[in-house]
Chain A
Amino acid sequence: MTPELKAAIAALLAPSTDEGKEPLTAEDVVAFGMWVPASLHVALAELLKAHGFTLYVTVVASHWPGEKPSRRNPDPPPEHFQVATVLRNPTRGASTTFSWRVRLEPGQPLDTLFALFAGADWQEREQYDLVGVHFAGHPDLRRLMMPDDWEGHPLRRDYAIDTPHFPWR
């Protein structure tokens, strides 16, 4: 990641800093795991693509169910989804990945990256199918892995792994 890219990312994310926190500087930009608000998801991907991260790697959605407060964990976060996107720059000799995370409320959709990367088509369909995260603007968001008439999203934490499916199991 070049210093220009880091500065550009910091400039993009700075206006959305939470109140009371210091705005992001170029040194705070890391290649893995930055939290990005959902509204800046596509803008960040565009910026990265313009700076050489042109290979779409993957998108990973996970479900974090709301837990009850316990002694060990008195203030657990409410139910949310986390979507991580990974891009790679195919530079000869020095290829790196960049990945960031977006936190979504249940039912909140995330903008699709299909306009920038054709590979987002199937990856986002798969995450919709398995985890249930909606991608706004996706041309054809339907199930990929499960049969079309399947109910439920299997990779959610409250979905039983041995759910029966009459008449085959």
Chain B
Amino acid sequence: MPGKVPNALSGVELPDPHMDIEDYDPDADLMVLNMGPQHPSTHGVFRVKLIMDGEVIVKAVSYPGYLHRGVEKLMEKLTYAQITPIVDKNDYVSPMINEQAVNMAFEAALEVEVPRRARWIRTILAEMQRVASHLVALGTFTLDVGGAIGGGASIFMYTFRDRELILDLFEELTGCRFHYNTHTVGGQRHDIPAGWAGRAIEALKLIDQRLDEFFELVIANPIFQDRSDGVGILPRHLALGLGLGGPIGRASGVDLDLRRDAPYHCYDEIEVKVPTRTTGDCTARFMVRYEETRESLRIALAMLEGVPEGPICSRKAVNSAASVKIKDGEVYVGVESPRGELGTYLIAGGQGGQGPYRLKIRPPSLHAISVIPYLLPGNNISDAIAILGSLDPIMGEVDR
């Protein structure tokens, strides 16, 4: 293609998200289209008000908050032991990582050490959960650009079928397909059953094979390329300013992955290869997620071979709601969730030490969605759907 192709590192002119719409061309006949809180794009309840000049979007105003469940207020009334199942429901597509973020904050405030076996298991669970979450993201993005009845749906079926294998393993370990409540302050509640590691290795190898088939179907498809190449280029400086460090940031050239750069669990013992791109468009985000899935499969397979022996929890098992007491302290802990940096800011000392005074969850999806007023203007509606799909927001954690 002749001429310079814009990418995330070149200067892309960004619209002003707070532009007054009256300043736009007075002769234009602007239409307001409400992409309402209920829409078939499977990304949860989220409203975008699109102000359009014909087919082209001029301004996009987004309204989150349709799933605001007041979780932070609720946690001020709960004890530390009761918080883990609540926090599962924030980023409901990767609950393991939610639980880990919160329990790591409690452990940091209490200065409790987690035994090596528990940290190893946590790493394996985080990587498997990352695979499952990316399968959802890849499947729903293909569903968005491919149509719900037709090509997109078949890829969606494939990825969800593979995700079921991982959920079966989690069900065997914790008892639930979803919302596991398996992490606790100081370690894990459920230990790996006999033979689980072998079954997990088989399942992950199968997923690895099937990812090849799925990838070949999608990436060379001209419709997919038309709808995703060059669409929604997010410049690197905006990604940094908005706080996007996950797959979205990495697709725009922000070379940051907390597993490699601020390691926790057992990530300092293994090598994590972090895929990055500089194109910053929807295809780049898709490819980064795809390559991360492969990398997570490789890490999980390597770690399942040699799980160390030892205790899985350094404290006595939680048997009452008030068994964890943290007198005071303030910590911030960030972990790498499939969407970016999931952080927990804990101010301890509430309820006489039995619960937090203020627990704020830093949701990566909130920052992902705040990209919308910058990316949508200048595009068509079909591009808007593709961009929203490639951001992979989870409204449970945006609104909490």
Q: CB-nearest residue of chain B relative to A54?
A: B240
**A94 and B261 contact, CB distance less than 8 A:** yes
- Cross-chain contact B345 with A84 (CB below 8 angstroms): yes
Instruction: Mark each residue of chain B from 338 to 375: 1 if its CB lies under 8 Å from any CB of chain A, else 0.
Output: 00010101010000000001101010001100100010
Question: Contact check: which of A86, A130, A143 meets B343 at CB < 8 Å?
Answer: A86
Q: Report yes or no: B64 in contact with A86, Cβ–Cβ below 8 A.
A: no
Say whether A47 faces chain B, with CB atoms less than 8 Å apart.
no
Q: Are B64 and A57 in contact (CB under 8 A)?
A: no
| Interchain CA distance A33-B331 in the complex, whole Å | 9
**Interface majority SS on A: helix, strand, loop or mixed?**
loop
Stretch at the interface among B25-33, B132-140, B250-258: B250-258
Q: Mark B234-252, 1 if CB is under 8 A from A, else 0.
A: 0000101111010000000
Q: From A58, which residue of chain B is reached at the shortest CB distance?
A: B362
The reply to whether B243 and A146 form a contact with Cβ atoms under 8 Å apart is: no
Which residues of B are found within 8 Å of A96, using beta-carbon distances?
262
Q: State whether A161 touches B243 (Cβ < 8 A).
A: no
Please tell me which one of the listed residues A90, A97, A118 contacts residue B256 in the complex, with CB atoms under 8 A apart. A90
Please, how many residues of chain A have a CB less than 8 angstroms from a CB on the other chain? 41
Given contacts A90-B255, A90-B261, contact A60 B245 (CB under 8 A): no
A146 partner, pick from B68, B262, B341, beta carbons under 8 A:
B68
B64 near A144: Cβ-Cβ < 8 Å? yes
Residues of B within 8 A of A130 (CB): 72
Once the chains bind, are B65 and A144 in contact (CB under 8 Å)?
Answer: yes
B254's partner among A33, A90, A145 (CB-CB below 8 A) is: A90
Of B255, B261, B334, B370, the residue contacting A57 (CB under 8 A) is B334
Cβ-defined contact, B341 with A88, below 8 A: yes
B242 touches A93 (CB 8 A): no
Binary per-residue interface labels of chain B (47-84) against chain A in the complex, 1 for a CB within 8 Å, 0 otherwise: 00000000000000000110010101110010000000
**In contact, B261 and A93 (Cβ under 8 angstroms):** yes
Known: A32-B332, A99-B332, A118-B238. A161 touches B74 (CB 8 A): yes
Interface string of A28-72 (1 = CB under 8 A from B): 000011000000000000000000001111101010000000000
Specify which of B73, B260, B345, B358 is in contact with A86 (CB 8 Å cutoff): B345
The distance in angstroms between the C-alpha atoms of A154 and B254, with both chains bound, is 35
Best-surrounded residue of A54, A144, A154, A155 (most CB of chain B within 10 A)? A144
Flag whether A117 is at the interface (Cβ < 8 A).
yes
Are A119 and B243 in contact, with the CB atoms below 8 A? yes
- Chain A residues, CB < 8 A from B341: 57, 88
CB distance from B274 to the nearest CB of A (A): 9
Q: How far is the CB of A81 from chain B (nearest CB, A)?
A: 11
- The residue among A60, A121, A140, A154 with the most chain B CB atoms within 10 A of its own CB is A60
In the assembled complex, A147 has its CB within 8 A of some CB on chain B: yes
A128 within 8 A of B: no
Q: B394: shortest Cβ distance to chain A, in Å?
A: 15
Closest Cβ–Cβ distance, residue A119 to chain B (whole Å): 4
Interface presence of A92 (CB below 8 A): yes
The verdict on A91 contacting chain B, using a C-beta distance below 8 Å, is: yes
Report the minimal beta-carbon distance from A157 to chain B, rounded to whole angstroms. Answer: 8
Q: How far is the CA of A122 from the CA of B245 in the complex (A)?
A: 17
Option from A58, A95, A140, A144 in Cβ contact (under 8 Å) with B262: A95
Enumerate chain B residues within 8 angstroms of A144, measured Cβ to Cβ: 64-65
Question: How many angstroms from the CA of A160 to the CA of B362 in the assembled complex?
Answer: 24
Q: Closest residue to A86 on the B side, CB-wise?
A: B332
What CA separation (Å) do A144 and B65 show in the bound complex? 6
Confirm or deny: B330 has a beta carbon within 8 angstroms of a beta carbon on chain A: yes
Decide yes or no whether B85 CB sits under 8 A from chain A: no
Is B115 at the interface (CB under 8 A from chain A)? no
- In this assembly, does B18 line the interface, its C-beta being within 8 Å of a C-beta of chain A? yes
Chain A to chain B contacts (Cβ below 8 Å), 20 pairs? A32-B330, A32-B332, A54-B241, A55-B243, A57-B243, A57-B334, A60-B345, A86-B343, A88-B245, A88-B334, A90-B254, A95-B261, A116-B241, A118-B238, A119-B243, A122-B366, A130-B72, A145-B68, A161-B70, A161-B77
Q: Nearest 6 pairs between A and B by C-beta?
A: A95-B261, A118-B241, A145-B65, A90-B256, A58-B362, A119-B243
Additional A-B contact list (18), CB under 8 Å, known A55-B240, A57-B243 = A32-B330, A55-B254, A56-B242, A57-B334, A57-B341, A62-B358, A86-B345, A90-B240, A92-B256, A94-B261, A97-B332, A118-B241, A119-B243, A121-B370, A139-B18, A144-B64, A145-B65, A146-B65
